[in-house]
C-alpha cells in the first residue's frame, strides 16, 4: 500500500477535488486522442493502434476513478495499492494534459514550466484549474518518489 499526505493546504485540496473530478470526466469524453501512428496512410493499422491505446487508457481511467472516489483524497490523503500506481500516474498525466489544453489558455508553456507568474493576475476561473493542475502534479511527485 502507498500512503502519504499531500504537502498542500487541505483547504485547497478540498476546493479543487470536485474540479479535478470534473476535468477527469471531461477528458474521458474526448473520444479521439491524437496518437500518431507512423504511417497514417495505413488506415487499418492506424485505427488498430488508436483503439488498442484507447482500451489501455480506459483501464488507467478506471483506476483513477476509484482513487478519486476515495473520500480521503479531498483531505489531501493519498492511499492506493502499489500495483495500481502506474495506472493512476498515466491517467493523471492525461487529466493534466487536458487541463493544460482546455483550461489554462492564458498560461504560456514557460510560465507553466517555471512557475514564474502572478497567479492573481490570471483569469479567476483559470486560477482554480491551475491549482487542480498543481495538486495532480503533487500526487504524481509523491507516487514517483515512492515507486522508485
Residues near another protein (CB under 8 A) are 35-36, 38, 49, 52-53, 56-57, 89-90, 93-94, 96-97, 100, 109-110, 112-113, 137, 140-141, 144-145, 147-148
For residues 14 and 52, which CB has a smaller minimum distance to another protein in the complex? 52
- DSSP run (H or E) holding 58: helix 43-69
For residues 73 and 98, which CB has a smaller minimum distance to another protein in the complex? 98
45 alpha-carbon distance from chain centroid: 28
Closest distance to another protein from the beta carbon of 71 (Å)? 26
Closest distance to another protein from the beta carbon of 82 (Å)? 14
Query: 99 to each of 26, 71, 127, 129, 132, how far by Cα in Å?
Result: 10, 22, 12, 7, 9
Give the angle subtended at the CA of 66 by the CAs of 48 and 2, to the nearest 5°: 105
Closest distance to another protein from the beta carbon of 13 (Å)? 19
Amino acid at each position: 500500500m502507498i500512503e502519504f499526505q499531500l504537502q498542500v493546504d487541505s483547504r485547497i485540496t478540498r476546493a479543487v477535488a470536485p474540479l479535478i473530478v470534473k476535468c477527469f470526466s471531461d477528458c474521458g469524453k474526448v473520444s479521439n486522442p491524437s496518437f500518431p501512428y507512423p504511417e497514417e496512410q495505413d488506415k487499418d493499422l492506424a485505427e488498430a493502434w488508436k483503439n488498442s491505446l484507447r482500451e489501455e487508457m480506459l483501464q488507467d481511467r478506471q483506476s483513477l476513478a476509484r482513487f478519486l472516489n476515495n473520500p480521503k483524497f479531498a483531505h489531501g490523503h493519498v492511499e492506493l495499492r502499489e500495483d495500481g500506481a502506474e495506472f493512476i500516474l498515466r491517467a493523471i498525466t492525461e487529466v493534466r494534459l487536458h487541463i493544460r489544453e482546455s483550461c489554462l489558455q492564458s498560461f504560456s508553456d514557460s510560465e507553466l514550466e517555471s512557475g514564474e507568474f502572478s497567479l492573481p493576475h490570471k483569469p479567476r476561473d483559470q486560477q482554480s484549474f491551475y491549482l487542480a493542475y498543481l495538486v495532480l502534479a503533487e500526487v504524481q511527485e509523491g507516487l514517483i518518489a515512492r515507486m522508485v
